[in-house]
């Protein structure tokens, strides 16, 4: 667990430094960092082990906190259950929706309770649209499809699954959660840029995002066009205001480093004085000659 925190700290620092000037940099580095964070515990099981801590007489390192592993398992189970439920909701959305068109391999399905469009699906790509879809103007439909299909072309739903899995594995780590949010924002910035490249005025696009502002309820597998959590930052970026993302505070990195150091100090086994020594070994040491090489010739 401590090694995972240290690894995520290094990864978060690289992501932070890479996008320090422009938070909308290519999110592939963030995605790779999250993928490695998700696989890091499995890698620890296969990598060779190098013992650096003292060992007790039984040959095992005593941490004194065996319940830490169970706490991690409980948190991981809750996080994965949340993803499984989200996947089930997505299946229900498909059953309740009605197909109204397609763009290549991407289905367009109408779903009643939605307020704004949502891109979802890794193998069966789909764009869910509200019932008001039929009343939208042709320009609004084009903007919506340009944005949502850009998500699928960039495989953003897959990266969101990777990010949510990394968050489940590292549910205790605020650095991983920060990278998950950063990846989501970078994906939205990239799709917004594609829409603007096709000649859509920034002000018109920003107003459309505000009209569609809603939460999809599926933060893992689905990507709403205008979620409340990211709307302000995206609109400020579109209108040319200061739209820099909230960067990772240096104090957070320092805090995680201090917590890791403290955990190592607390969890590490005690020094040689706490090792279990039998009474016979104690008597043998007391009876031993403290100067075995001294024959007494020097005193003559």
**For the chain (length 300 residues), average pLDDT per consecutive 10?**
74 76 71 84 59 49 64 91 91 93 92 88 92 90 94 92 92 90 90 92 91 65 76 84 51 54 50 56 68 57
Which residues, 6+ apart, have CB-to-CB distance to 80 below 8 Å? 168
Nearest to 202 by CA among 237, 151, 243: 237
Query: Distance between CA 51 and CA 21 in Å, rounded?
Result: 41
Assigned domain for 172 exists? yes
Classify residue 224: in a domain, yes or no: yes
Q: Is the separation of the CB atoms in 111 and 92 below 8 Å? A: no
Rounded CA separation 43/73 (Å): 17
Q: Is residue 152 part of a domain?
A: yes
Q: Give residue 78's pLDDT.
A: 94
Asked whether residue 159 is assigned to any structural domain, the reply reads: yes
| Contact of 25 with 18, CB cutoff 8 Å | yes
pLDDT of residue 53: 47
Q: Are 155 and 28 in contact (CB under 8 A)?
A: no
Q: Residue 240: what pLDDT? A: 76
118 falls within a domain? yes
What kind and span of H or E run contains 222?
strand 222-224
Whether residue 280 is contained in a domain is answered as no
pLDDT at 107: 95
Indicate the number of domains in the chain: 1
187 falls within a domain: yes
User: Does residue 22 sit within a domain?
Assistant: no
> What is the reported pLDDT for 112?
86
- The reported pLDDT for the residue numbered 271 is 45
- Containing domain of residue 176, as a range? 72-262
Alpha helices (runs of H) in 19-119, residue ranges in sequence order: 28-46, 67-96
* Residue 281, both tokens: 């070994």
By DSSP bridging, strand 118-120 and strand 222-224 are: antiparallel
């Amino acid at each position: 667990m401590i090694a995972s925190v240290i690894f995520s700290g290094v990864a978060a620092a690289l992501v932070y430094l890479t996008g320090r000037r422009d938070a909308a940099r290519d999110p592939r580095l963030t995605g790779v960092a999250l993928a490695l964070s998700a696989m890091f515990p499995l890698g620890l099981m296969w990598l060779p082990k190098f013992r650096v801590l003292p060992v007790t007489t039984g040959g095992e390192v005593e941490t004194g906190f065996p319940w830490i592993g169970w706490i991690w398992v409980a948190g991981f189970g809750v996080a994965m259950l949340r993803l499984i439920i989200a996947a089930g909701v997505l299946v229900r959305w498909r059953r309740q929706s009605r197909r109204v068109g397609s763009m290549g391999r991407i289905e367009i399905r109408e779903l009643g309770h939605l307020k704004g469009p949502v891109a979802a699906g890794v193998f069966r790509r789909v764009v869910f649209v509200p019932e008001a879809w039929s009343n939208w103007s042709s320009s609004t439909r084009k903007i919506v499809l340009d944005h949502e299909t850009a998500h699928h072309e960039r495989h953003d739903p897959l990266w969101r699954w990777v990010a949510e899995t990394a968050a489940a594995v590292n549910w205790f780590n605020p650095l991983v959660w920060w990278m998950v949010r950063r990846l989501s924002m970078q994906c939205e910035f990239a799709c917004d840029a594609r829409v603007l490249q096709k000649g859509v005025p920034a002000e018109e696009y920003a107003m459309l995002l505000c009209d569609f502002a809603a939460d999809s309820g599926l933060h893992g597998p689905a990507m709403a066009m205008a979620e409340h959590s990211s709307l302000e930052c995206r609109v400020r970026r579109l209108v040319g205001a200061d739209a820099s993302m909230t960067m990772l505070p240096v104090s957070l990195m320092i805090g995680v480093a201090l917590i890791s150091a403290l955990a190592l100090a607390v969890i590490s086994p005690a020094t040689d004085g706490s090792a279990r020594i039998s009474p016979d070994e104690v008597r043998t040491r007391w009876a031993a000659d403290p100067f075995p090489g001294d024959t007494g010739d020097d005193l003559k």
